[in-house]
Amino acid sequence: VQYLLPPLESLATVEETVVRDKAVESLRLISSQHSAGDLETHFVPLVQRLALGDWFTSRTSACGLFSVCYSRVSLSVRADLRNHFRNLCQDDTPMVRRAAASKLGEFAKVVEVEYLKSDLIPMFVTLAQDEQDSVRLLAVEACVSIATLLQQEDVEQLVMPTLRQCTGDTSWRVRYMVADKFTELQKAVGPEITKTDLVPAFQSLLKDTEAEVRAAAAHKVRDFCQNLDQFQ
């Protein structure tokens, strides 16, 4: 299987997005065909090379490969992978940060809870405060995945301050994403946080200055209220 890696690594760096995406998709598929030893010997070095690549295309492709190898490698390699992902979240190029934000949720699902709290939550907070709204709105998506993995008190302490910021974001696109993901957020955070935080936030989104945000929130009214009934 490792003989397929060099051509796919090369394709994962090209300029055409559709080619890169297919290369990453193929790499994700064949990662499962590697033994744990082969992952560390062949696959992880590929991920590291892409993550350190000079071209943003290379670093963008790397973002989609962390979650498929993380859980099957040694603790020291895991720590190295988390550091690489952190660097990608802070990359100078917005396209790379966008790619990292879009994959943060799936990476969170395979990372140990202690490192989710110590490493990935700070990455989430950083991305949610990014200067580019296209990055911030993808952080909202990651928020859903992260919240489902934490205890209620951790959600309140580690996630909600950032989610509150997103609800009042200056960009309507970010507020739209919050509205669009609202019922998923509601299920993720549970009844208590829904009552204290999400109900007022939902009311705010329904009165938003942007029609698109109000419409997105309005589409969620029935499901939001049904979920409230189930929480009783």
Q: Which fold has domain 112-232?
A: Leucine-rich Repeat Variant (1.25.10)
Say if residues 216 and 179 touch (Cβ distance below 8 Å): yes
**pTM greater than the 0.85 cutoff:** yes
Q: 133-181: per-residue pLDDT in tens?
A: 999 999 999 999 999 999 889 999 999 999 999 999 999 999 999 999 9
- Cα separation, 8 vs 13, in Å, equals 9
- Cα separation, 168 vs 12, in Å, equals 37
What are the boundaries of each domain within the chain? 1-108, 112-232
Say if residues 69 and 44 touch (Cβ distance below 8 Å): yes
* Count of Cβ atoms closer than 10 Å to residue 203 Cβ: 10
Minimal CA–CA distance to 56: which of 99, 96, 8? 96
Exposure of 79 in the CB half-sphere (CA atoms within 13 A) = 3
Q: Do domains 1-108 and 112-232 have the same CATH topology?
A: yes
Q: 52-82: per-residue pLDDT in tens?
A: 999 999 999 999 999 999 999 999 999 999 9
Q: 88-111: per-residue pLDDT in tens?
A: 999 999 999 999 999 999 999 999
CATH pick for 1-108 out of 3.30.420.10, 3.10.350.10, 1.25.10.10, 1.10.10.60: 1.25.10.10
